[in-house]
Structure 1
């Protein structure tokens, strides 16, 4: 559920995590899920199919998106779209003036490297299944269903991400500093996720906690 606190803005849950106030109802769980699936598809996977024109950096006109959304969901107001973005603890989307885009997770080709800040962490992490580990250690990491490799800023985050897909994940440590020194672009999209077009094998090793 999404509600709005007069003091702290949109939040998810029954009470504002900042002050404990109940706030004003904006969106229930079912509509939040339906709207979230639509926005994810429109901004990450099939913008043209829903009638959106996306620029090379993944931005679309937020008013156009809202109009398309309203045709599908009569209850799909601009406020509810904004509330979905601003209350998202994973930081999936961003609004800048009259434009909106997904920060990560694209299967359509977008250029995010030129917009986001360069990574400053010396090491990053990437979780895989045991079946994938040897192949990736030898061949490097390239995107499969997405246009960027999504790296984690901590071993714990990589373990959590990989655990969604496999019961016994292996976590790689990425020598990000060396990779960037050699000209590989690695950019930060939020405090948990960092993007790269690919990571060659020479920068990959098994994280110490996994050895």
Structure 2
């Protein structure tokens, strides 16, 4: 399957498994899982072509590891980024000493006033590495990377979680817990 086709399927799966399962008529369980057979059937009934081999290929080759199967591959879910109410069962973890948040320059003034907010998602998404944060920021225009003061946040009672695909999550990053990286730093 071509990369272009995989990307279309991945985007549609993100829509269905993270935000709007009702558009194909499925229900996710409390932890965000969908039955694989039902998902494939309902996607095909909506005029898209999907089989298990293709779905498995999309899950295994997605560079952001957005989706995961259960052990016997009868269920699938998005690993994070949901706007619908589900419980992914995250356990609080100690994060790396430094995490990053990529955003667009047009949002920086707002962030410096109100902090980094989760908006319609369940959590604020943070990256372990600068390259990923820059890539995320580029989705929103001219990228800006904020360094998150995770140690300070931990000492002051904030919790962090790591999703199955390595994205770090927290409820918010208030003003005073981040600093802007200057261009060319690191």
Residue 147 (structure 2) pairs with residue 147 (structure 1): no
Residue 107 (structure 2) pairs with residue 137 (structure 1): no
Aligned match for 1:90, one of 64, 85, 100: 64
Contact 2:28 / 2:34 at 8 angstroms: preserved in 1? yes
Aligned match for 1:115, one of 90, 97, 106: 90
> Which deviates further from its counterpart, 173-182 or 185-194?
185-194
SS in structure 1 of the partner of residue 116 of structure 2? coil
TM-score by length of 1: 0.74
SS in structure 1 of the partner of residue 176 of structure 2? helix
Contact 2:65 / 2:165 at 8 angstroms: preserved in 1? no
1:124-168 CA distances to partner (integer Å, 9 max, x unpaired)? 11123334223312321112343321111122321221122222x
C-alpha distance in structure 1 between counterparts of 2:166 and 2:45, whole Å? 34
C-alpha distance in structure 2 between counterparts of 1:35 and 1:91, whole Å? 14
Change (3 A) 1:197 1:209: same
Runs of 4+ residues deviating >4 angstroms: 208-211
Structure 1 gaps of 5+ residues are 1-26
Q: Which residue of 1 aligns with 2:152?
A: 178
Contact 2:19 / 2:82 at 8 angstroms: preserved in 1? yes
Task: Name the structure, 1 or 2, with higher relative contact order (CA <8 Å, separation 6+).
Answer: 2
- Aligned-pair distance for 1:30? 5.0
SS in structure 2 of the partner of residue 100 of structure 1? strand
C-alpha distance in structure 2 between counterparts of 1:146 and 1:165, whole Å? 16
Q: CA RMSD in A?
A: 2.5
Q: Count how many residue pairs are aligned between Structure 1 and Structure 2.
A: 183
